[in-house]
């Protein structure tokens, strides 16, 4: 009964199958009243389950039917014979074989002996087969399908109900498609494929493929509406890119922002043109473009890096604890271990954004350029308004935001925060650019500092200005001051890469 309830629960998950679920309830009610299901009820339900492509439930129901109707214990009464036992067990099922049955006799010394009888003659009360039973005898009645297994054919692809169907003599391709409900609008009718398996000399299976015109097969053309054999498989192909709609989100300073369907191979310039172009307030350098496929790759890289660092840091920490020479050193090393664990936990919380650095210009200039790329489903583009603010974060006296001035360099903004803190790593300052990239500031060129009215070592010029509106200047901490961080090679570069991928700065 518990198994029946489980099957009913599975059917109730799909509102379209509630009628089949109600038939399970009827079977349950009959079992409660008569201690057995109605003859044929479970077999009938098995067929209906197969029709709706729920073969796994049909198999479970078939096994349950066997358990309930064939493997039933009854009390042995005086002079009870095979026929009496079968009738007391509820009679034969509709699938019972009327040929050979078995009686397995079990003796006190745990030895067994098998006696064979003809089921039909036993039920006809023929004394040669309606044998007298002994205590602990087991009667086995075989199913007709054990000798002659049910033959099936299969259909997959763009049909209403793909799945397994009972094979019948002279079944054709059109018959199988009809059983499956019909082809879908997306089905490619000019070609379908039939896969057959032939047993060669009873030793090996040889697979063969045949291509047919499905349209002609459905019209009854005998050259294509082939007669099927047991275990044949029909594959109904799908029209390439049929209703495979891809979408891209455009937000921010776009004339007609929204979620746009795109065609395969459509480029960014074309979509921006369809959306009416940019507004007059668009800040193209700050374009924020994300791609799901890139996010997945970035996230995988982050997780692999975190796993590697966790393994190395915790392994080294454990070794150092085991080698501590004093109680004081042991306490210090345990404290370091907690710091290592906290650092790793913070890394595990970091999530990739999927942001890609792109270069936007006016649509006409973009067309045909290397910066005009093909879009993918799920891409997203946000174009902000110009943000005349420079953020300064990290190891400075007072983190904050400052109005942008083209007369100021990165050092001027750091000075405006009160300068470097005691632990600042002034040699590894980098800029999180408004376009999503990161650049270490350079001190290889002379530049003019307007605020100090003097020449200083800085890096101005080039195609992209060192500091632009919306940039963030990041002053990292000296990793040398934290002993266990010195164990990580290129830790400063690693933290900068994390900032690019995740858009966050990890604090030490």
405-418 pLDDT tens trace: 989 999 999 999 99
Mean pLDDT on 336-354: 87
> Which residue bears the tokens 């110009």?
386
Give yes or no for residue 399 having a pLDDT over 50: yes
Q: How confident is the model at residue 43 (pLDDT cuts 50, 70, 90)?
A: low
Residue 355 lies in a domain: no
pLDDT surpassing 70 at residue 10? no
Residues 266, 337, single domain; the answer is yes
Same domain, 251 and 338: yes
Q: How confident is residue 53, by pLDDT bands cut at 50, 70 and 90?
A: low
Q: Looking at the structure, tell me whether residues 29 and 44 fall in a common domain.
A: yes
The answer to whether residues 208 and 129 touch, using CB atoms and an 8 Å cutoff, is: no
Q: Are 250 and 168 in the same domain?
A: no
- Domain for residue 328, yes or no? yes
179-203 burial, b at 16+ Cβ within 10 Å, e below that, comes to: bbeebeeebbbeebbbebeeeeeee
Does 207 share its domain with 291? no
Rounded to an integer, the average pLDDT of 274-293 is: 95
Two tokens, residue 150: 């049910």
Highest mean pLDDT, choosing among 389-393, 448-452, 500-504: 389-393
486/427 Cα distance (integer angstroms): 16
Give me the pLDDT at residue 73, please. 62
Task: Give the model's pLDDT for residue 266.
Answer: 94
Each residue of 20-29: pLDDT tens digit? 666 666 666 6
Identify the burial level of 40 via C-beta atoms within 10 angstroms of its C-beta, where 0-12 means exposed, 13-18 middle and 19 or more buried.
exposed
Q: Are residues 255 and 325 located together in one domain of the fold?
A: yes
- Confidence tier at 36 by pLDDT (50, 70, 90): low
Quote the pLDDT of residue 67. 53
pLDDT for position 306: 87
Whether 211 and 140 map to the same domain: the answer is no
The beta-strand segments (E) located in 107-245 are 112-118, 138-140, 152-157, 163-166, 187-200, 204-212, 233-238
What's the average model confidence in pLDDT over 42-66? 66
Tell me how crowded residue 244 is: count the other CB atoms within 10 A of its CB: 11
User: Can you read off the two tokens belonging to residue 118?
Assistant: 């003809």
Confidence check: pLDDT of 463 > 60: no
Given a cut of 70, is residue 303 above it in pLDDT? yes
For residue 483, is it within any domain? no
Say yes or no: 226 and 161 in one domain. Answer: yes
Burial of 385-419, coded b for 16+ CB within 10 Å and e otherwise, reads ebbeebbbbbbbeeeeebebeeebbbbbbbbbbee
What is the reported pLDDT for 111?
85
Q: Answer with the one of 147, 169, 185 that is the final residue of a domain.
A: 147
Residue 376 lies in a domain: no
Residue 189 maps to a domain: yes
Q: Say what angle helices 41-51 and 55-69 make with each other, to 10 degrees.
A: 170
| Average pLDDT estimate for 246-257 | 95
Over residues 201-224, the pLDDT tens digits come to: 766 778 889 999 999 999 999 999
341 inside domain: yes
For residues 177 and 189, is the Cβ–Cβ distance under 8 A? no
The rounded distance, in Å, linking the Cα atoms of 439 and 454 is 24
Q: How many C-beta atoms lie closer than 10 Å to residue 212's C-beta?
A: 19
Query: In the chain, how many domains are there?
Result: 5
- Note whether 34 and 89 are same-domain residues: no
Confirm whether 360 is domain-assigned. Answer: no
Q: Is 354 part of a structural domain of the chain?
A: no
pLDDT: is 181 or 68 the higher one? 181
The per-residue pLDDT for 190 is 95
Confidence label for 482 from pLDDT (cuts 50, 70 and 90): confident
Higher pLDDT residue, 391 or 93?
391
Distance separating alpha carbons of residues 40 and 48, to the nearest angstrom: 13
Owning domain of residue 131: 82-147
Domain end residue (candidates: 69, 99, 122):
69
If you average pLDDT over residues 261-265, what whole number do you get?
A: 91
Predicted confidence at residue 96, as pLDDT, reads 83
Do 259 and 343 reside in the same domain of the chain? Answer: yes
Residue 176: its pLDDT value, please?
94
Instruction: Residue 472: give its domain's CATH number.
Output: 3.10.560.10
Same domain for 137 and 157? no
For residue 225, what pLDDT band results from cuts at 50, 70 and 90?
A: very high
Spatial distance between the Cα atoms of 23 and 58, rounded to a whole number of angstroms: 13
């Amino acid at each position: 009964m518990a198994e029946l309830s489980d099957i009913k629960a599975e059917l109730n998950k799909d509102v379209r199958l509630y009628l089949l679920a109600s038939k399970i309830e009827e079977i349950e009610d009959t079992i409660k009243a008569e201690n057995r299901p109605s003859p044929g009820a479970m077999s009938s339900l098995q067929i209906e389950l197969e029709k709706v492509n729920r073969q796994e439930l049909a198999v479970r129901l078939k096994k349950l039917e066997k358990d309930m109707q064939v493997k039933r214990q009854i009390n042995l009464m005086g002079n009870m014979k095979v026929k009496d036992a079968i009738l007391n067990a509820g009679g034969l099922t509709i699938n019972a074989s009327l040929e050979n049955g078995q009686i397995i006799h079990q003796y006190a010394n745990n030895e067994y002996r098998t006696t064979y009888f003809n089921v039909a003659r036993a039920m006809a009360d023929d004394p040669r087969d309606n044998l007298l039973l002994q205590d602990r005898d087991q009667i086995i009645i075989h199913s007709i399908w054990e000798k002659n297994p049910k033959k099936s054919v299969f259909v997959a692809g763009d049909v209403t109900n793909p799945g397994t169907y009972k094979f019948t003599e002279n079944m054709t391709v059109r018959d199988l498609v009809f059983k499956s409900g019909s082809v879908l609008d997306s089905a490619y009718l000019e070609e379908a494929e039939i896969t057959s398996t032939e047993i060669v000399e009873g030793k090996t299976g040889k697979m063969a493929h045949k291509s047919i015109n499905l349209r002609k097969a459905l019209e009854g053309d005998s050259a294509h509406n082939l007669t099927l054999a047991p275990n044949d498989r029909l594959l109904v192909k799908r029209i390439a890119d049929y209703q495979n709609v891809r979408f891209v989100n455009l937000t921010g300073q776009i004339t007609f922002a929204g979620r746009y369907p795109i065609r395969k191979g459509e480029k960014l310039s074309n979509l921006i043109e369809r959306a009416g172009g940019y507004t007059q307030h668009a800040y193209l350098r700050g374009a924020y473009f994300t791609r799901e496929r890139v996010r997945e790759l970035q996230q995988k890289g982050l997780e692999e890096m975190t796993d590697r660092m966790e393994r190395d840091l915790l392994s080294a920490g454990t070794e150092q604890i085991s080698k501590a020479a004093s109680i004081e050193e042991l306490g210090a090393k345990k404290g370091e271990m907690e710091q290592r664990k906290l650092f790793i936990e913070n890394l595990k919380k970091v999530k990739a954004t999927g942001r890609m650095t792109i270069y936007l210009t006016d649509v006409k200039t973009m067309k045909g350029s290397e910066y005009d790329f093909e879009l993918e489903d799920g891409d997203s583009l946000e174009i902000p308004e110009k943000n005349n603010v420079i953020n300064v974060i990290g190891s400075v006296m007072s983190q904050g935001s400052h109005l942008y001035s083209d007369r100021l360099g990165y050092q001027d903004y750091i000075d405006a925060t009160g300068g470097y803190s005691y632990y600042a790593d002034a040699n590894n300052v980098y800029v999180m650019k408004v376009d999503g990239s990161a650049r270490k500031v350079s001190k290889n060129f002379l530049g003019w500092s307007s605020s100090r009215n003097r020449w200083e070592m800085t890096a101005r010029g080039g195609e992209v200005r060192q500091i632009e509106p919306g940039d963030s200047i990041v002053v990292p901490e000296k990793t040398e001051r934290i002993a266990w961080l010195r164990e990580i090679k290129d830790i400063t570069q690693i933290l900068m890469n994390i900032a690019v991928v995740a858009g966050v700065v990890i604090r030490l």
